[in-house]
A and B are shown apart, each in its own frame.
Chain A
Amino acid sequence: MDNADEDSLNVLIVEDEVLLAMELSHLIEEAGCRDVGHAMSSDDALDMAARLKPDLALVDVHLQDGPTGIEVARHISIDRGVVALFMTANVRRLPDDFAGACGVIGKPYSEHGVRSALRFLDHCIRDGHAPGLPPAGLQLAPAWAAHWGLNDLPRTA
């Protein structure tokens, strides 16, 4: 198991299902990142993103106050510079521009899928380019794939 140190990626969990959030927290630590907080509603998410300045936010579409995750992603990625990643069972309902988010992991995800995606994004965010093709289960937004040097990716998950 990797240990989070000073340089670890700071990750905010935006998820209204507490048991999923708790298990995600374990997976974040196992991937060598640091869990900095857990928001259950869009207000909490916006507040915590501003206060805690995470590098990455894992965002569920359905939060305590409704399907507000998409606006959360748009706001924190565009206004706060936080890389957002959707985690949702409704992959096909995301807007074409991913609301500024870097991609999506479809639910139900596997622990291995989440850990590999976090390690991959850790590289991307740190180095500014992808270490290779994204792992299975992680679908990147076209704009972010291009930003990290991956062009012409087929849109499959």
Chain B
Amino acid sequence: MQDTTADDPDALVRALAQKTALLHEVDHRVKNNLQLVSSLLLLQARRAVDPAVRDALRSAQARINAVAIVHRRLFQEEDALQFDVAAFLEDMVEDAIGGSGRTDLHARLDLEPAELPAFQAAPLALLVGELLGNCVRHAFPDDRGGVITVTLVREGDQLRIEIADNGVGVATTGANPGAGQTIVKLLCDQLRADCQVADAHPGVQTILRLPLSGAR
């Protein structure tokens, strides 16, 4: 069987077309299932009476959404093995600020073109999602407006992603030692990233440094 296929160019072309169709089918199902999971959590959140339950379901949905953004991007590009970090950060920021319903929050983006291997996309999305979520939820209480600045720079064999706000500062942002902080710490370990949080007067500045060579 193997030999016949190898010797017959038509059979090779057919086999390749079959594999490609299969890949598209899997991609299609992954995207639809992510949509279903996300919509289910939203529906459940809408029905929740207890505000704490609603918040928990909402944050679970936000995390699923971060993974969804990655998948929407991945197969839209020609190269499904690399992903465009700048385009993805734009989507994440747009969703984090727009999704909060706050019209008094604005984004400033300064993004150099950069790519990472696709297998790092989901963990990076979750990590950035937590950091942006913290900014939106904690840095600007009591209708205090402000700016979230996101910077992406290549520094030698590292990527530096900086997320800064001009909000109320460290003391109030660190108040929630919940799942979010654990997720940030674990994902930094997984990505071999270094995460530094500093008081930026005003606000908080978080700097992520990721090796470009690809952690595993």
Contact = CB atoms under 8 A, between A and B. Distances in A.
Asked whether A and B interact, the reply is yes
A108 interface: yes
B39 A107 contact: no
Contacts of A113: 95
A19 B31 contact: no
A89 B28 contact: yes
Interface in A110-156: 110-113, 116, 135-137
A89 B35 contact: yes
B112 interface: no
Interface in A10-51: 17, 19-20, 22-23, 26
Q: How large is the interface on B (under 10, 10 to 19, 20 to 34, 35 or more residues)?
A: 20 to 34
Contacts of A92: 75-76
B32 A23 contact: no
Contact of B94 (A108, A136, A157): A136
B69 interface: yes
Contacts of B95: 110, 112-113, 136
A137 B69 CA distance: 10
B35 A108 contact: yes
Interface string B37-80: 01110110010000000000000000001001101100110000
Interface of B: 24, 27-28, 31-32, 34-36, 38-40, 42-43, 46, 65, 68-69, 71-72, 75-76, 90-91, 94-95, 98-99
11 contacts: A20-B36, A26-B43, A92-B75, A106-B31, A107-B32, A108-B32, A110-B38, A113-B95, A136-B90, A136-B94, A157-B72
Interface of A: 17, 19-20, 22-23, 26, 89-93, 106-113, 116, 135-137, 157
